[in-house]
Amino acid sequence: MTTSSTQRLDAALSAIEQAGDEGRRIFTRVYVDTARAAARAADERAASGLSLGPLDGRIVAVKDLFDVAGEPTTAGSALLRDAAPATQDAPVVRRLRAGGAVIIGKTNMTEFAFSGVGLNPHYGTPGNAHDLLRIPGGSSSGAGVSVARGMAEIAIGSDTGGSIRIPSALNGLVGFKPSLSRVPREGAYPLSFTLDCLGPLVQSVADAVATDSVLAGIDHVPVEARSVRGLRLAVPRGLLFTQVETEVSDAFEQAVAALTEAGARVSDESLDSLLGAPFQLQEKGTLIAAEAAHIHREAVVQRPEAYDPIVLGRIRRGQTLDAATYVGIQQARNALLGELDRALADFDALVLPTVAFLAPLIADVQNETDFMRVNALVLRNTSVFNFYDLPALSLPLPRDGKLPVGLMVVGRRNADRDLLAIGAAIEALLG
């Protein structure tokens, strides 16, 4: 980068300030003084030829479910606005600081991360970076918008059913959901003990690789250069391609044609029996809702009025899932992991649309019926791969100024670095 960390921080802070009320809907906190001190320290290191790692001096925003010492972690809620301050930084925040990252602020989110739409009645809903009247995607809503609007270079979010990949797809970013065990989750307000994972929303796969190395606590090494030629890519036609808007379908098919022309071995595969299983198993209730019901078991009784009514309703539905059904879902899930692994053994990755539609208008998802319909569909394609704990990447497709569309690339179990290398190759081809 040709400009200093201080100069880039000034540009980001200026973008937040110039956005006015919208900036306050994107960020719940902005750390002007500490960020300036961190940027100056990074510039001094750079002038001396020193570096703390690949994120040294980079401008990073963190989702408002990560503990930052000395302040309450609100998780996008009114309920926790006056909670006791965190006693220490979350491990991911500590790793970012130790790596020289300049933490500019905390970004807004769906209350308790429990929706893929991105609405928040307590702190306001950030508008989509490409059209303020449209949804930002959630639950890492402010995270996606902050990077897309130049208010941060990198944002750290969480992904339980698609909360990194959805806002990345709808705002034209790269979003990386790593394998569950790759990044420590302590100090991040939980939604689901089974499915929560943490990762970056960024402008490029190279930034995803750099951020992943810091969050995972591993040495930063660029991923192996891969060619699109010879990649074995499976397209899971069927359930996950239903209700796909024409513009999304057209952009996806153009990408598949480009991959095929470049020498990738792309084949349509019938995987509905496995990819539909998470929905069939959870018809009576989801793991996420049941675990959220446990996490909020006291607050929903003592202070129900403090919740977003839609979020409260979803938590209460989780209370209806009996223990036998919950255990049955977990046992069936454990058996299915290996089945999907075997079905994907001959492929390097799956490719499909990240989200089935373009970002809808915020005004069109205000009543609960419309909200629930849109939320179910926005989460459909992404949530499958949380259930199966596969690493997944959303890449922006070329759109010539139109509303963004995301291409989801799903890797094999625990093959995070391989997936990032494949993503870099596809990114280089599609531009």
Tell whether the torsion through CA atoms of 309, 313, 314 and 316 is positive or negative. Answer: positive
Alpha helices in 305-367 (DSSP H): 309-318, 323-343
Question: Residue 401: CA atoms inside 13 Å, Cβ hemisphere, count?
Answer: 0
Compute the distance between CA of residue 353 and CA of residue 69 in angstroms, rounded to an integer.
38
Of 5, 63, 140, 213, which residue is the catalytic one? 63
Cis preceding linkage at 139, omega within 30: yes
AA identity, residue 365? V
Of 5, 77, 139, 141, which residue is the catalytic one? 139
Tell me the three state secondary structure of residue 431. coil
Q: Where are the beta strands (DSSP E) in 245-370?
A: 265-268, 349-353
Compute the distance between CA of residue 197 and CA of residue 292 in angstroms, rounded to an integer.
15
407 and 395 in contact (C-beta within 8 Å)?
Answer: yes
Beta-ladder partners of 197: 159
Active site residue 5: no
Compute the distance between CA of residue 293 and CA of residue 315 in angstroms, rounded to an integer.
5
Compute the distance between CA of residue 253 and CA of residue 235 in angstroms, rounded to an integer.
11
Tell me the three state secondary structure of residue 131. strand
Q: For residue 202, give the nearest of 153, 145, 251, 131 by alpha carbon.
A: 153
146 and 154 in contact (C-beta within 8 Å)?
Answer: no
Count Cβ atoms within 10 A of the Cβ of residue 198 and give its class: 0-12 exposed, 13-18 middle, 19 or more buried.
buried
Active site residue 273: no
Count Cβ atoms within 10 A of the Cβ of residue 342 and give its class: 0-12 exposed, 13-18 middle, 19 or more buried.
exposed
Q: For residue 95, give the nearest of 215, 178, 207 by alpha carbon.
A: 215
Compute the distance between CA of residue 269 and CA of residue 30 in angstroms, rounded to an integer.
47
Active site residue 146: no
331 and 312 in contact (C-beta within 8 Å)?
Answer: no
Of 140, 163, 168, 213, which residue is the catalytic one? 163
Tell me the three state secondary structure of residue 182. coil
AA identity, residue 417? R
Compute the distance between CA of residue 113 and CA of residue 5 in angstroms, rounded to an integer.
31
* Residues carrying an active site annotation: 63, 139, 163
